[in-house]
């Protein structure tokens, strides 16, 4: 019988049933079997890095993970699978999580078959699930205006549920993220300052560029970044599917914005010889305190053109606090 379409409804019944599965998280194949059995016959992979994210409760907290159909290796029959058990607290870096991950191929009994550029069938133990990749289209922004020295690189769909446009500033050789407001935005914004708003759900911070009718991403909340939640920012959700189809290129913009990556990455921005590691296009601040957004006023004083200002407020900043010194 075909499973119902996913609505996002969370029930206590389902929560308790999942808790009582007594699933051995050390057994990767058992966890994959559990996840795969819970999928609909046809699923939509919204995030543009092509991760299909999932969560389920466990006795130790929540198991978070993803199935990945990466543009660079899915045609070689690779499905990436990974998961980790977390609790809801801010975790220090030295905490040992329970989890596992690997690339699954025909050798492990997982068959990945391309139907077309945006549809792949995955078969495991006699059952096939169709994975619909996200074809956002390449229409340029309608509401948000581009400066003469800005280039629209491509669209992004973040796992937070927000959509973005990736812009490149030719004068400053700098990438930054613009909220896509040509579509419904599933977020409520609270004003922090006259020109800064913060998402109530995602905690993303945006500069209100009213002159150009756009919101520029300037911050992601540190707790989400440290814990690698669905609200850690769009840094990895590049428009890979359109690089795959040959309709756009991102490598030249990444190398211009990150000169140290030149000659060291593939066409998607993954480091050569470092499987799974890509250039994080995180041109925003990982913030611990909203007072950090005083940087906007400082940038306003220190810059002399709009392009300089936008580059200043979208610098990639991540300064984790030092751990408490031992007594």
Q: What is the pLDDT of residue 276?
A: 76
Q: State yes or no: pLDDT of 3 exceeds 60.
A: no
Return the structure tokens found at 161.
């549920």
**Nearest Cα to 219, choosing from 282, 298, 166, 307?**
282
8 A C-beta contact, residue 268 and residue 240: yes
Adjacent-strand bridge partners of 215: 208
Strands 61-68 and 79-86: antiparallel
pLDDT at 327: 43
Q: Is residue 325's pLDDT more than 60?
A: no
Give the mean pLDDT of 196-208.
Answer: 99
* Four-residue CA torsion sign, 205, 236, 117, 123: negative
State the pTM of this model: 0.92
* Strand pairing report for 163-169 and 150-157: antiparallel
Res. 231: pLDDT tops 50: yes
Do residues 252 and 153 lie in contact, with contact meaning Cβ atoms separated by under 8 Å?
Answer: no
For the ranges 146-150, 235-239, 243-247, 270-274, the lowest mean pLDDT is seen at: 270-274
Distance CA 190, CA 198 (A): 5
Q: For residue 74, what are its two tokens? A: 């899915």
Task: Classify 8 in phi/psi space as left (phi over 0), alpha (psi -120 to 50) or beta.
Answer: left
275 Cα distance to chain centroid: 18
Q: Go through the chain and tell me how many residues it has.
A: 327
DSSP secondary structure letter of residue 128: E
- What is the percent of the chain where pLDDT is above 70? 93
Closest CA to 156 of 178, 175, 131: 178
């Amino acid at each position: 019988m075909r499973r119902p379409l996913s609505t996002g409804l969370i029930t206590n019944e389902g929560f308790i049933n999942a808790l009582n599965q007594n699933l051995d998280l050390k057994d990767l194949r058992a966890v994959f079997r559990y996840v795969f059995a819970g999928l609909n016959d046809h699923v939509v992979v919204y995030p543009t890095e092509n991760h299909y994210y999932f969560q389920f409760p466990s006795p130790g907290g929540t198991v978070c993970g993803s199935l990945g159909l990466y543009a660079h290796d899915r045609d070689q029959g690779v499905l990436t699978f990974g998961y980790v058990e977390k609790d809801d607290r801010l975790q220090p870096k030295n905490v040992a999580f329970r989890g596992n991950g690997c690339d699954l191929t025909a050798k492990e009994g997982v068959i990945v078959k391309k139907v077309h550029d945006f549809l792949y069938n995955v078969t495991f133990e006699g059952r096939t699930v169709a994975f619909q990749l996200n074809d956002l289209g390449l229409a340029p922004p309608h509401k948000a205006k581009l400066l003469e020295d800005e280039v629209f690189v491509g669209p992004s769909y973040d796992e937070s549920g927000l959509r973005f446009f990736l812009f490149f500033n030719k004068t400053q050789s700098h990438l930054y993220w613009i909220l896509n407001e040509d579509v419904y935005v599933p977020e409520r914004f609270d004003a922090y300052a006259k020109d800064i708003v913060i998402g109530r759900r995602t905690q993303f911070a945006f500069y209100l560029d009213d002159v150009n009718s756009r919101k520029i991403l300037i911050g992601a909340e540190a707790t989400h970044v440290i814990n690698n939640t669905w609200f850690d920012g769009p840094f990895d959700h590049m428009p890979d599917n359109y690089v795959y189809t040959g309709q756009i290129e991102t490598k030249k913009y990444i190398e211009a914005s990150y000169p140290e990556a030149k000659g060291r990455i593939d066409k998607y921005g993954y480091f050569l010889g470092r499987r799974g590691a890509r250039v994080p296009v995180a041109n925003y601040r990982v913030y611990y305190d909203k007072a950090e957004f005083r940087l906007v006023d400082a940038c306003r004083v220190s810059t002399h053109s709009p392009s300089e200002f936008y580059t200043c407020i979208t610098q990639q900043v991540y300064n984790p606090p030092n751990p408490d010194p031992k007594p």
